[in-house]
Structure 1
Amino acid sequence: MTGPGEVRCMLMRGGTSKGAYFLAGDLPADPGLRDGLLLRIMGSPDPRQIDGLGGAHPLTSKVAVISRSDDPEVDVDYLFLQVAVDSPDVTDRQNCGNILAGVGPFAVERGLVAARDGVTSVRIRMRNTGELAVATFPTPGGRVDYTGSVEISGVPGAAAPVLIEFPAGDRPLLPTGNVRDTVAGTSVTCVDNGMPTVLIAARALNVTGYEDPVALEDDPVLADRLHGIRLEAGRLMGLGDVEGTTVPKLSLLAQPRNGGAVMTRTFIPVRCHTSIGVLGAASVAAGLRVPGSVGEGIARLPARGDRIRVEHPTGFLDIDTSVDPGSGRTPPVARRTAVVRTARKIFDGSVFPRSAGTPPQLFGGNDGSAPR
């Protein structure tokens, strides 16, 4: 039981992200009231998120809203919400495959799914897009076990594996219908294998693709070019005006340096990811398997098997992806996508949001600066 002003919450690391997980019934049903509450819980808008759970970065300002599904073929529904750090915005325009890694364990922890003695699989509907995923993880004795020996880049230590499989969806892999498009004067490949993503050769933007993320973020010329590409690509991909949204993502491609298939630098959409999102990596991997994409001549694809190693600033992410390349009359289709991630429960209890009457400007300057 929670008291007045308290909201039941579980903070979890999912993959290389961290977020607050809620049962849908513990939040207001009205989206406006829900989003206002989440802003106060996370401490936004404030560049430091000093008065909430957020970690002052998009990767640590995320929310999962979970409910039992009314679909007999699905166990739980998962709504992902990205809470902006320094603006009063909450968006559901994208999925998050990292936060997805914690959804199955959370569903078991909250009693939405009965665990088996050994391993448990949870069928998840991602409400942001309607797509499905199946998460499988260890549950010895019918309890979630977060300990294990699986290491993933960007996360210290090791944890139990969470295998996430994505059944083939019915959305086109190439949303524009073309293997390549010229967008804002730049050759790109637009892909959607779970995350709308624009693939760009780093050299086409006069960078190497090996730079530190902060250096790329601080390049005003690059920022202007990426902004123009994103706006035009968004319209071509059927996403409309993406000025105020977090999709599509932009992934710069360079030749691999550490034995993988490709090196990436991904913008989400303005900050440069310190690693890469699961669904973004799934789209990159699928795009590399399409003959004639911008990755051709850059990527070094494995001779056998479905696994593609996507390198990123802090390591790599392995994605199993098979693509039917299609023919002149039939478009390419993603047949299978799977990834191993880890997740960990950090705390479970009640969060106390700041008062609804507290003016946001008290927690950050109007110009985005920290208060003096």
Structure 2
Amino acid sequence: MSDITFRVVDTSAIPEELAKAMQPIVLKWETAALQVAAAHDPQRPQKWPGGSVEELLDQRFKQFPAITKTRAESKADAVLTSARFSRRAERLLGVDIRSAITTPAVAPTVKFGGDELKRLADFNDKLAAAAKGARPDGDAGAITWDKLSLQFIRVACIDETNGLFGTEKGSDEISIGGALLDTDGRTNKVSPVDLGGSWDDGDVRDFKPPKSILGYSMRGGLTFPRNIFITLLLVERDGNGMQEIINKIVAKVAEEAKQSLTALLAGAVGAAVGGPVGALIGLAVGYAVDKIIDKILHLWDDVAFIPKTIEALIPSRQSMFRGSQTSSSSVVRFRGPGEYACRYQLQLSEMT
């Protein structure tokens, strides 16, 4: 029986064809962030359509102090009125952003050449082959696990966030949250977990027992082997609202990526569309969310950390970590206005 494997996804290393497929989705969210900032007017607040990307982002933007909103508005006006950005938005989104109030509900599928489609399909085939290689066959005497948990065992503050007036006066108050996507298309939020306060450069804290970040039920769903993608965002607690945003971004981007990639692969000759397209979607979502949050924070001068995605391949409910219920530990690093290194492990358990 194959072991459960896991890794931190390197979004800079995904195939360029997959990055290209996500361009309209990333641009859609970037445009929405610009539209929200440009519409800032305390005297005439904009009412965005219910369920729109702009409405979601506006929930965060409203929390900023007036000076932050004004700076973001000025930056947004400059970008939206540039001919280069307008042409790019019209080409990838099919809208004239100078007259459109909101971005499209679903970003259109980017146009691919035949060779690009073939390379994307081949990459999907490789993911399918890797999953098939993770033998799901169970041992009649083995334990059937019900839950996979992500736990933090140590957190180190490499560089605290910039505090008062861009200095490092004061200390960080941090928490972590995010969202989970599996290859069955199920999404679940990671409720915020408090990682404590008074963090300064060089601080290291061990959690004994390990601090549980999330628990994933393996009892539901349709398929094994199964990939899960855990997108995490560590925030300074004065960045209130970003964790709720990332939960909703993951759910929305997952649906958009599913529609876009399914449509693309359907047009590729010899594509293994029946394979685990969910693994391809999971990688695409990790990449897109990373880019989207980065752009939003840059455009708004927001204070938060760039998200990181952890992928785990679960061959079956009886698989383990080289015969152990607990995995070896690894490190995920969050960089933004500061830097934190979080050592984590995965833990299997039965329901009690």
Q: What TM-score comes out, normalization by structure 2 length?
A: 0.28
Which structure's residues are more often strand, by fraction? 1
Per residue, is there more helix in 1 or in 2? 2
Larger radius of gyration: 2
